[in-house]
Amino acid sequence: MPASTPEQPAVEFRGVAKRYGSTPAVRDLSFTVGRGEFFSLLGPSGCGKTTTLRLLAGFETPDAGEIRLFGEAVNRRRPYERDLAMVFQSYALFPHLSVERNVAFGLEQRKRPAREIRDRVRAALELVRLDPGTFATRRPSELSGGQRQRVALARALVLEPRVLLLDEPLGALDLKLRKEMQVELKALNLQLGVTFIHVTHDQEEALAMSDRLAVMNQAEIAQVGTPAEIYENPRTAFVADFIGEANFLEGKAAGRPGGEAARGSLEGWVITGDAGSFVVPPHWAISEGGDVRIAVRPEWLDLWRPGCLPRGENGLPATIQDLVYLGETIHVRVTLANGRVMIIALRNEGQLIKPLPWNRGDSCIVAWRPEDCQVLEG
């Protein structure tokens, strides 16, 4: 492959589309992945994320658009001509081969010298923290789930790919091991400088591991951004609801805040709904009399007694419905005047020593700062 300039991304999709019969698998995909980046494709089942990965790997051919690797179009290149490696969800290890032979398989297919294969296999196993002296001769059936996952990773890394594709590789692991492997995969990404492209439906996993992620829905990309951008600044109700928890409120733009309605120095809009009125930040999509929908994360909300709302904050009257103890936080469910339920996540400061001063049936005010909400598009 010809040398490419530093400005060229590792991966680029330009208007890529793929259909299976009359059903669109992906529509008009356009995004880039930088060199050495850990990039995740996140979304519910059937959204098109695995198809996107298979198109990049060369297992599927796009019906339209162009896929580029390091500046070179690869639509017509076969999988083994793309300088990629892939770790499958099922690991796809050969049960009749030893760990050493599983890891060596790709190098043997490329007819590399025996000494080189032996050295590279040993280095790959050490890289994923499997002692060659202990594990090289074992069969996959003699390994734990985490060990099989490491063998699959070593089999991909031994090829020294420029891009590593990960198709839900942690899905079969238990929670504790999955969290450990998240840290290790990210560390490998930083250590090797290889571009990682990771498919998952696990929101927490994507947020923890990714430099950037693309949230997919119904064969399209809903939003691309850093974990903080996606979580704290979701563009649509789907993204806000799919990533973490969110409370939604609707109303009409009744005008600009003024006097006491301004509740502080923020310039924005007063939104009037059947649960009450509140102020939101300026947004290009808001116009006088127009419908507005916002999302507010549970941890950005607070509770106050009636009449005690701090100046500068929004407040909606509510009634305590339930308190759910979750260890680090306590989720308080409240009912607004219009019957809508909201969830407020309060920090647990010790229920045995300093219990929350709320009980079921108490009247309260749900509060948040105007800037701590996101105006949603569409």
What letter represents residue 353's amino acid? Answer: I
In a domain, 315, yes or no: yes
Is 241 part of a structural domain of the chain? Answer: no
Looking at residue 4, what is its pLDDT?
47
Nearest CA to 49 out of 89, 93, 84 is that of 89
Nearest to 26, CA basis, from 165, 212, 218: 218
Is 6's pLDDT higher than 70?
no
Predicted pLDDT at 378: 73
- Is 90 exceeded by the pLDDT of residue 332? yes
Average pLDDT, the chain: 91
Q: Does 216 lie in the same domain as 358?
A: no
pLDDT of 260 reads 44
What is the average per-residue pLDDT within 119-141? Answer: 92
Asked if 185 and 297 sit in the same domain, the reply is no
pLDDT of residue 169: 82
Q: Please report, for the domain that includes residue 317, its CATH number.
A: 2.40.50.140
Q: Nearest Cα to 247, choosing from 308, 297, 187, 317?
A: 297
Question: Does pTM top 0.95 for this prediction?
Answer: no
Tell whether the model's pLDDT for residue 1 goes beyond 70: no
Alpha-carbon gap, residue 143 to 285, rounded angstroms: 55
| Residue 242 falls inside a structural domain | no
Asked if pLDDT for residue 149 goes beyond 90, the answer is no
* Contact criterion met (CB below 8 Å) for 106 and 93: no
Please give the tally of structural domains in the chain: 2
SS3 label, residue 219: coil
- Closest by CA to 67, choosing from 27, 21, 39, 29, is 29
> Left, alpha or beta for 218 (phi > 0: left; psi -120 to 50: alpha)?
left
Cross-strand pairs, 29: 16
Give the model's pLDDT for residue 258.
Answer: 64
Query: Does the pLDDT of residue 156 top 60, yes or no?
Result: yes
What's the CATH number where 152 sits?
3.40.50.300
Q: What is the mean pLDDT of residues 272-296?
A: 93
Residue 246 confidence (pLDDT) above 80: yes
Give me the sign of the Cα torsion angle 199, 204, 208, 211.
positive
* 283 within a domain of the structure (yes/no): yes
Residue 171: is its pLDDT beyond 80?
no
Please state whether beta strands 220-225 and 212-217 pair in parallel, antiparallel, or not at all (unpaired): antiparallel
Question: In this structure, are 202 and 277 located in the same domain?
Answer: no
For residues 30-58, average pLDDT: 95
- Check if the beta carbon of residue 140 is closer than 8 Å to that of residue 93: yes
Q: Are strands 269-273 and 247-255 parallel, antiparallel or unpaired?
A: antiparallel
Instruction: Give yes or no for residue 5 having a pLDDT over 60.
Output: no
Over the stretch 290-307, which tens digit does the pLDDT of each residue have?
999 999 999 999 999 999
How confident is the model at residue 172, as a pLDDT?
67
At 345, is the pLDDT very low, low, confident or very high (cuts 50, 70, 90)?
A: very high
Q: Indicate whether 131 and 188 sit together in one domain.
A: yes
Dihedral angle over CA of 219, 222, 224, 230, nearest 10: -130
Q: For tokens 């308080």, what's the residue?
A: 332
Position 330 scores a pLDDT of: 93
> Quick one: pLDDT at residue 92?
83
pLDDT at residue number 122: 93
Predicted local distance difference test score (pLDDT) of residue 266: 54
Residues 93 and 215 in one domain: yes
Q: Are residues 320 and 205 in the same domain?
A: no
Residues 202 and 350 occupy one common structural domain: no
Tens-digit pLDDT profile for residues 180-197: 888 888 999 999 999 999
Contact present, 290 and 241 (Cβ < 8 Å): no
Give the range of the structural domain holding residue 67, as residue numbers without chain letter: 11-236
Domain annotation covers residue 6: no
How many percent of the chain have pLDDT more than 90?
Answer: 74
**In the chain, at which residue ranges do the beta strands (DSSP E only) sit?**
11-20, 23-33, 38-42, 64-69, 72-73, 84-87, 163-167, 195-200, 212-217, 220-225, 247-255, 269-273, 276-280, 291-296, 302-304, 314-325, 329-336, 341-347, 363-368, 374-375
Same domain, 109 and 190: yes
pLDDT digits (tens, 9 = 90+) for 352-367: 888 888 999 999 999 9
- Residue 177 counted as domain residue: yes
67 vs 183, higher pLDDT: 67
Task: Clarify whether residues 188 and 324 are in a common domain.
Answer: no
